[in-house]
Amino acid sequence: MSSSTCLLKQDPLIQKVKRLLIRIGGVTGVRGLSRCFRIADDDGDHMVSKEEFARCLSDYGLNLTEGEVNKLMATFDLNRDGSIGATEFLTAFRLGLRPKRKAYISRVFSLFDQNNDGRLTLDEFKAGFDASGHSDYLSGRKTLDEVEREFFSSFDSETNPDGLLSKQEFQQHYACVSAAFDTDDAFIAMMLSVWRLDELLGGQPSGWRAGDRFTGLDSSLTCRNPASYTIEERELAVQDNTARSKAEGVVMKIRKLALEKLPAKCHGVSREFYMRDEQGYGYVSQATVADVVRAVRLHHFISEEEIELLCKDFDTRKNNTFDYYAFAHSLVGDITAVRTMLLERTWKKLPRRKNGKLPVELLISNYVPDLVPEVANGLVTKGQSLSNFLDAWDVAYFPSGLVSFDEFLLYYSGVSEEVVEDSHFRTMLMVSWKVWNKEAKVLVESLL
């Protein structure tokens, strides 16, 4: 994580704005403010002036002092030109998500986003929601109508006047919902249930059933005060936490090995799973895990016991399968919200197909390795760096010939490790992908 990002997370004013956003808009707080900025951004350059910025905050009910507004401007006005990037500002308020939860949110959206353009119509989206599988209904705390009304109010003509829902909005909604769940298992069980994933995914059904003790701690699937746990529940909690910690340690070990030993880094591990996923839903047999470890030549470093820990921890559907999609999200590591946003913006400027994916050939032809960290630090030549990049995106690993944003993000999770400051990461992306605009030209010219 960059030093600037760490400071942002600790800033008392940032924390104050976060609390106000949740108090004013609940799960739609950040989305509501985002739409205010979108209205103020008349020319579509994602930049707003100080006056527009103050007006947006005030219109949304964020009554900050002039000094607080000035401090926010000073923090986010990177070019010192009297304007700020609305996207960069809003990114600072995104709620964090554990990798498994993020994987399931992305999986649900992708299952409904048939043309892969990153947007859904509200009617299509609402039709997929099954309130009868919601924890509040199953526990008797709310009626079916109450659950549906609460969910649909988060996505209506007021919050989404264009009738469309973006992946970012869906993720932000569930980032807020996620806070109400003690464990990943609880959150995943809820997503499987309310979105009827067993039906959509096909194949072997999950081991979750309505009424199961999803968390092993609380059948209501909501947060509880640990002081209320029984002795048996506390013992189960300790066992679960110990097993999870060990599995997370194995994931970090594989990540470290991949970054050190594989030309394609973490992406090289993920693509081996992808090649073995016949149905394309992100699940493979548990036996496949050992095959992949051997294929990437890490079997001398990863023991059978460690593989068993991974298989148990990533059996997210409790049906003896391995969720490599959730595993890949875990491999990404702590890539910050700011850098994720920068990658999203870069991806949108590349010549993608209508389905949101990019042909491998175009990905390769648009790449320039000049500012890659290993080249900038003199560790390899441009030619060697380009060779490593070509190996990472070898067309043999992409039968469809197309690359998704998630694969692009996974690749850059490794690169991000070697770049300290967000500003350097941003400049590297601009140069590497020829994402030329007025700002990028100034940055590039200063480096030449």
Per-residue pLDDT of 263-273, as tens digits, reads 788 888 988 99
Tens-place pLDDT, residues 87-132: 667 666 666 688 999 999 999 998 888 777 778 888 888 888 999 8
Give percent of the chain with pLDDT exceeding 90: 19
- 189-223 pLDDT, tens digit each: 889 989 988 888 875 677 654 444 333 333 333 44
Tokens 């340690």 found at: 249
430 pLDDT more than 90: no
pTM > 0.85: yes or no = no
Give the DSSP letter of residue 296. T
The β-bridge relationship of strands 119-121 and 83-85 is unpaired
Say if residues 84 and 76 touch (Cβ distance below 8 Å).
Answer: yes
Predicted pLDDT of residue 104 = 94
Q: Is the pLDDT of residue 252 over 90?
A: yes
β 119-121/321-323 pair status: unpaired
| CA–CA distances in Å: residue 222 to residues 27, 94, 264, 440 | 16, 22, 40, 46
SS3 158: coil
Find, among 137, 284, 317, 330, the residue nearest to 209 by Cα: 317
Inter-residue long-range contacts of 407-412, CB under 8 Å, 24+ positions, other chains counted:
407/267, 407/270, 407/271, 408/343, 408/347, 408/358, 409/332, 409/335, 409/340, 409/343, 410/266, 410/267, 410/270, 410/328, 410/331, 410/332, 411/264, 411/265, 411/266, 411/267, 412/335, 412/339, 412/343
Report residue 343: phi and psi, to 5°: -70, -40
CA 46 – CA 65 distance, rounded (Å):
24
Residues 7, 74 contacting (CB under 8 angstroms) = no
d(CA 175, CA 117): 21
Three-state DSSP state, 439: helix
pLDDT top residue among 34 and 200: 200
Query: Residue 152 carries which side chain, given as an amino acid letter?
Result: F
* Radius of gyration from C-alpha coordinates of the chain: 23
Q: In sequence order, what are the residues at sequence separation of 6 or more whose Cβ sits closer than 8 angstroms to the Cβ of residue 394? A: none
List, in order, residues 6 or more apart from 53 with CB less than 8 Å away: 40, 69, 72, 73, 84, 89
CA distances from 391 to 114, 378, 411 (A): 30, 20, 12
Amino acid at the residue 33: L
Question: What would the DSSP string read from start to end of 368-435?
Answer: --TT-HHHHTTSS-HHHHHHHHHHHT-GGG-TTSEE-HHHHHHHHHHHHTT---HHHHHHHHHHHTT-
What's the pLDDT band for 255 if we cut at 50, 70, 90? very high
Q: What angle do CA 427, 432, 434 make, to 5 degrees?
A: 90
Residue-averaged pLDDT of the chain: 79
3-state secondary structure of 343: helix
Question: What torsion do the CA atoms of 40, 42, 43, 46 make, to the nearest 10 degrees?
Answer: 20
